[in-house]
């Protein structure tokens, strides 16, 4: 990079936060991001409606795919984290998983190239719902006081330790959990997009350089961009899985009898 890079006029180099805020299509309500969210909602609804228009015991291809997602969430996430009590949450978790998965995948879909989850607003919405869900489940199951006591007071600890432990437990259960849930998804998608930008835009910047050596080297940058796109696909699936698994885990601890 020590060569004299001539930055092309229309290439935003180096990539910055502002690359995540393209100009609005029509006002603050209709932007690329809000449109992508509506698109994701539409796609997920259409997929499930089409797949389950006429469900059969021996499934068609679409129905099989839809049931595979449901089966994965039901058995590998909900039941794994919460036992058989988790099955009644499996439908919501499936919707959540599908929505996060498709919005994450947008980050490598040509033409979209960015995930709505790289704007923190959307992870905040999802994590807030998970937060309310696990609090509501806990309060409904145990009552408010018992739930608070369960969440804040560790059993079998000498009482002076509670001076230290109660604030930590409070922070852990009521602040850190939802914040990290939102931040983890947001940061992964944000960083993933930034990486893709670095290698793709970097490749173009190198290609438009005066130096022939630098122009040839841009091949590596593009190759790296392709590798990163596959990596991004992996991260997209993984983060959807992690988000839903953690939500299931939090709801599961709310349901649990002991701390």
Partner 1 sequence: MYLAAEGHNPILPIWQELVVGTIAFALLVFVLLKFVMPRMETMYQARVDAIEGGLKRAEAAQAEANQLLEQYRAQLAEVRTEAARIRDDARADAEGIRQDILAKAREESDRIIAAGKEQLVAERTTIVRELRTEVGTLAVDLASKIVGESLADEARRAGTVDRFLDGLESAGAR
The residues of the shown chain that bind partner 1, judged by CB under 8 A, are 12, 17-18, 20-24, 28-29, 31, 33-34, 37-38, 40-41, 44-45, 48-49, 52, 55, 57, 66-67, 70-71, 74, 87, 90-92, 94-96, 99, 116, 118-122, 124-126, 129, 186, 190
Reported as half-sphere exposure (CB side, CA atoms, 13 A), residue 86 has a value of 27
* Shortest spacing between CB 111 and partner 1, in angstroms: 19
Nearer to partner 1, 40 or 246 (CB): 40
- Please state, in angstroms and as integers, the Cα–Cα distance from residue 179 to each residue in 27, 99, 175, 196, 236, following that order: 29, 19, 6, 26, 19
- What are 95's two structure tokens? 């919707």
Nearer to partner 1, 70 or 106 (CB): 70
* Shortest spacing between CB 132 and partner 1, in angstroms: 12
* Shortest spacing between CB 27 and partner 1, in angstroms: 9
26-35: Cβ within 8 A, 24+ apart: 32/114, 33/116, 33/119, 33/122
85 CB neighbour count, 10 Å cutoff: 15
Q: Cα(177)–Cα(138) distance, rounded to whole angstroms?
A: 15
* Shortest spacing between CB 175 and partner 1, in angstroms: 16
Gap between the terminal Cα atoms of the chain: 54
Q: Where are the alpha helices (DSSP H) in 52-159?
A: 61-71, 79-82, 90-105, 121-142, 144-152
* Shortest spacing between CB 85 and partner 1, in angstroms: 14
Q: Cα(128)–Cα(12) distance, rounded to whole angstroms?
A: 34
Nearer to partner 1, 72 or 154 (CB): 72
Q: Can you tell me which residue has the tokens 């229309």?
A: 10
* Shortest spacing between CB 95 and partner 1, in angstroms: 5
Nearer to partner 1, 38 or 220 (CB): 38
């Amino acid at each position: 990079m020590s060569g004299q890079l001539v930055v092309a006029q229309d290439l935003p180099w180096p990539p910055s936060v502002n690359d995540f805020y393209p100009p609005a299509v029509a006002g603050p309500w209709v932007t690329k991001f809000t449109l992508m969210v509506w698109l994701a909602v539409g796609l997920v609804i259409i997929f499930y409606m089409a797949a389950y228009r006429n469900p059969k015991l021996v499934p068609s291809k679409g129905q099989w795919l839809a049931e595979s997602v449901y089966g994965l969430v039901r058995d590998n996430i909900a039941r794994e984290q919460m036992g058989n009590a988790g099955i009644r949450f499996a439908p919501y978790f499936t919707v959540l998983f599908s929505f996060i998965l498709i919005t994450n995948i947008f980050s490598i879909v040509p033409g979209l190239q960015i995930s709505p989850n790289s704007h923190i607003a959307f992870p905040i919405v999802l994590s807030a719902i998970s937060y309310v869900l696990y609090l509501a489940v806990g309060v409904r199951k145990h009552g408010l006081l018992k739930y608070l006591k369960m969440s804040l007071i560790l059993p079998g600890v000498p009482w002076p330790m509670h001076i230290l432990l109660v604030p930590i437990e409070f922070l852990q259960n009521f602040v850190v959990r939802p914040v990290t849930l939102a931040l983890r998804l947001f940061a992964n998608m944000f960083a993933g997009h930034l990486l893709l930008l670095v290698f793709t835009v970097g490749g173009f910047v190198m290609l438009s350089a005066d130096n022939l050596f630098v122009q040839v080297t841009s091949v590596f940058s593009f190759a790296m961009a392709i590798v990163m796109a596959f990596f991004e696909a992996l991260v997209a699936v993984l983060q959807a899985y992690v988000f839903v698994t953690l939500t299931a885990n939090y709801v599961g601890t709310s349901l649990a009898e002991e701390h």
